[in-house]
Structure 1
Amino acid sequence: MKTDFHAIDLEKWPRAQTYNYFTETVSTLIYSINVTMDVAILRNTLKSKDLKFFPAYLYLVTRAIRRQQEFLMAIQDDMLGYWDCRTPFYPILHDDDKTITFLWTEYDENFEVFYKNYLSDMAQHGKIHGIMSSKGAPPSNNYIIACVPWFTFNSLSMHLQNAKNYYAPLFEAGGFTETNGITTMPLSITVNHAAVDGYHLKVLLEELQRTMNHPEEWL
């Protein structure tokens, strides 16, 4: 999917003072939130259609952040701006030696297209070892999204070094928990406060949960 970078006019941008505060006065403030997502409807629907959960997770998170400029921000050529969308950049685990390789799949608004592209990337590059996949480095609009399905967690924090100009969000999901027919999944989101405030996270999480509860909208 073609994506463009759009420069922000700091003279007209409503968050300019907030951005300047967290880049100049505070220098850098990275923070993580941890929430619990209800994935019962999503998981059952995917199972009924024999579809994998992980690419659906990649798709829904990428779809949600595409709708909010705050999660698309970046600096290109010393200019602050935002992308049209982001590319999920995710680790895969090799069963033989338990090492990971980072792979990426270009986002497409059509889930069926994205899902097929994910399967194609896994088939072509998923078994080749090395920290960076044989597909090569991801495009500049990438963001890191991962899952540790082997255990659940109550809290997880990412600590980024030299993150002054890094505005891409980071997502980490955990293993499922099933209680009385309800399936939940922990989700940790790490953001740069210069780009994202708590309200923006609230809007993102509401949209993400809504699409998880209504897969008929995009399947």
Structure 2
Amino acid sequence: MFKQIDENYPRKEHFHHYMTLTRCTYSLVIDLDITKLYAILKEKRLKVYPVQIYLLARAVQKIPEFRMDQVNDALGYWEILHPSYTILNKETKTFSSIWTPYDENFAQFYKSCVADMETYSKSSNLFPKPHMPENMFNISSLPWIDFTSFNLNVSTDITYLLPIFTIGKFKVEEGKIILPVAIQVHHAVCDGYHVGQYVEYLRWLIEHCEEWLDSLDMS
């Protein structure tokens, strides 16, 4: 459900400035230490990509500024945002963008995500899964490149308010497994403070991964 924001929105002046006067999006790359998480996933024989998607999606639900949007010219936020993500057709080397309904329960989301990936893995269509929801944010994966900076140039930057994530290739630094993630947001709805909150919670989820991974029974 979309919740419209009233006139008391504290960032009203900021929104107007960065939406109409100085249109501005920005991006940054964070390095995530996934050493412990990766070891547990390997032990449990879990696929890494669905877990990455779950982490990004769960953190999005935590920060309202990452769910802000305009619907029919009204500013507000979605109560839930579902992840849309890219998958590669290994035969044609083309990618598709599919989506999975968000569920905070990791076990349920993981199973649904893996099923969606298997269903559409051989598709040659860009958007093979029907009924794509409006309340959705985008994730791309570049598992071949361990980038340190990343930027998207989208012609709809001036009006597209939802965050965009790009996941890079693991790299090993001083015995730690590091995952680079690019985050692109619109300054009209999201300041550096909000990105900081998002990253802090994302790192907390990774550090406390046993708490939510235990919901999945692989037996």
- 2:3 maps to which residue? 6
In structure 2, give the amino acid aligned to 1:5.
F
Quick one: which of 8, 12, 16 aligns to 2:12?
16
Distance in 1, Cα, partners of 2:159 & 2:177: 37
- 1:130 maps to which residue? 125
Distance in 2, Cα, partners of 1:147 & 1:42: 18
- The secondary structure found in structure 1 opposite 2:75 is strand
In structure 1, give the amino acid aligned to 2:70.
I
Q: Kindly indicate whether residue 50 of structure 2 is the aligned counterpart of residue 51 of structure 1.
A: no
Describe how 1:82-161 pairs up with structure 2 within 5 A: 82-133=77-128, 135-161=129-155
Quick one: which of 206, 211, 217 aligns to 2:205?
211
Q: Spell out structure 1 runs of 4+ moving beyond 4 A.
A: none
Distance in 1, Cα, partners of 2:10 & 2:181: 29
What are structure 2's unaligned runs of at least 5 residues?
A: 214-219
Tell me how many residue pairs correspond in the alignment.
213
Which stretch shows the higher mean deviation, 157-166 or 202-211? 157-166
Distance in 1, Cα, partners of 2:86 & 2:202: 21
Distance in 2, Cα, partners of 1:87 & 1:164: 22
Distance in 1, Cα, partners of 2:125 & 2:72: 29
Question: Which TM-score applies when normalising by structure 2?
Answer: 0.94
- The secondary structure found in structure 2 opposite 1:35 is strand
- 2:37 maps to which residue? 42
Question: Which TM-score applies when normalising by structure 1?
Answer: 0.94
Describe how 1:144-183 pairs up with structure 2 within 5 A: 144-183=138-177
Distance in 2, Cα, partners of 1:96 & 1:124: 15
User: Per-residue deviation at 1:181?
Assistant: 2.0
Quick one: which of 178, 192, 204 aligns to 1:184?
178
Which stretch shows the higher mean deviation, 164-173 or 109-118? 164-173
Percent of aligned pairs with the same amino acid: 36
